[in-house]
Amino acid sequence: MAVRDVRGMMVSGPLANVSIAYRNKTYIGDRIFPILDNVDPKAQIARYLKGAWFSDDAGIRAPGTRAKRGGYPTDYISISTKEYAFAKEVTDEDRRFAQSKFAPPLKPDQDALEFCADKVDLKKERRVAELVLGSTWSGVAGEDAEGGWAAGASNTFITDVEARIETIRSNTGVRPNVLMLSANVLPQLKQETTVIDRIKYTERGIVTAALLAALFDLDEVLVGDAIYSTAKETKAGTEWTAKNVWEKNAGKGSAFLFYRPPGPGLKIPCPGYQARVPYENGQVRRVTTWRENAEHQDVYEVAEEADIVVTGADLGFLWYDCLLT
C-alpha cells in the first residue's frame, strides 16, 4: 500500500509571527535642530546680536563722572508654521479578512497609523536636512572637501574638522560639540590611517562614532542613515530609486559640525529650531479618523504643524563632496 504524501497535501499559509517591512530605523533631525513646543503659528524668536556682547567697552570711571555706556541691539526671527499630514484608508474587508485563519499577520489599523506617522517623520527629516545642506554656514554655503575624507593618502578629515572647530569658536565664543556624518562617510573613516593612529591605543582600537567624538572632544557624532526613494509609487510596489537624506550630492558624502545647546532657553545660542504648534487637545501631533461610508472604509490621518528655521548660521559649518570630487 502506498504511503500518503502528507507534506505534499499540506495547505500553505503565511506565518503568524513573521513579516517583512522596510523603513528607516533612525531619524536624527530632532538631535540637530531642537524642538520648541507650544508656540504660536506666527511667533518670533528674539535674537541678541553678538557684536555688542563681545565688545570690550568697560573702562575706568573717574570720581564724579558717569560710567561708560552702551547697548545691545536685537532682531527677530519670524516663524510661520505649516501643517504636514498623510492619510491611509482601512477598508472593512481588510479588517474582516485579517481575522481569517490563513490571513497574513497584518493589523490594518495599527499598520495604517504607523505608516502615516513614518511619512510625517521622513518629511521632517528631509526638511531639516534640506536646511542644513542648503544654508550658508559660517559665511560660506558649504566647503568642498574635494574627496579628501576618503581613506587613503593626503586625508584631510582631522585637519578640516579641527580648523572649523576654531572657526566656529572664534566667530561665536562657543565651541561646537556635535558632528553629523552622512552614512557613507563613517565607513571610510574606519579605514583611514590618520584616524586609526589617533585611537589605536584605546580599549577597542576600532573607529566608532563615539571614538570620533572623543577625538575632537565633542559630545556626539551623529550618523545620518535615513534614505528616501524618488521613484513614483506604482501598484506593484517595487519601484525604487534611493537617495541619502543627508547628502548634498549623491554618493559624495556630507558632514555638518555645529553647536547644540543642552536645551532651549533664554540667551541660549542655537543653530536652528523646530517650532511646533499644539493641537486642540494639547498634543503635538494630531491623529484623526473619519468614516467614508460609500467606500466602506475608515481613514486615518497623522498631522504635525511646525516651522523649521535657522537661527544661528555662525554656529555651524558644512562640508560636501567629502568622498568624491
Q: What is the pTM of this model?
A: 0.91
Strands 316-320 and 297-310: unpaired
Domain segments of the chain: what residues? Answer: 21-54+67-81+136-285+305-320
Is 21-54+67-81+136-285+305-320 in CATH node 3.40.50.300?
Answer: no
Q: Given a cut of 90, is residue 292 above it in pLDDT?
A: yes
What's the pLDDT score for residue 126? 98
Alpha-carbon gap, residue 159 to 302, rounded angstroms:
45
Question: Which pLDDT score, from 0 to 100, does residue 9 have?
Answer: 54
pLDDT (tens digit per residue) in 30-85: 999 999 999 999 999 999 999 999 999 999 999 999 999 999 999 999 999 999 99
pLDDT at 238 (0 to 100): 74
Q: What is the pLDDT of residue 104?
A: 75
Q: How many helices (H) and strands (E) does the chain have?
A: 8, 14
Digit-coded pLDDT (tens) for 80-113: 999 999 999 999 999 998 888 777 788 899 999 9
Position of cell 559665511? Answer: 139
- Beta carbons of 290 and 230 less than 8 angstroms apart: no
Whole-number average pLDDT of the chain: 92
Find the largest Cα–Cα distance for the chain: 124
Alpha helices, DSSP H, located in the chain: 6-9, 50-53, 92-98, 108-134, 157-172, 185-189, 193-199, 209-215
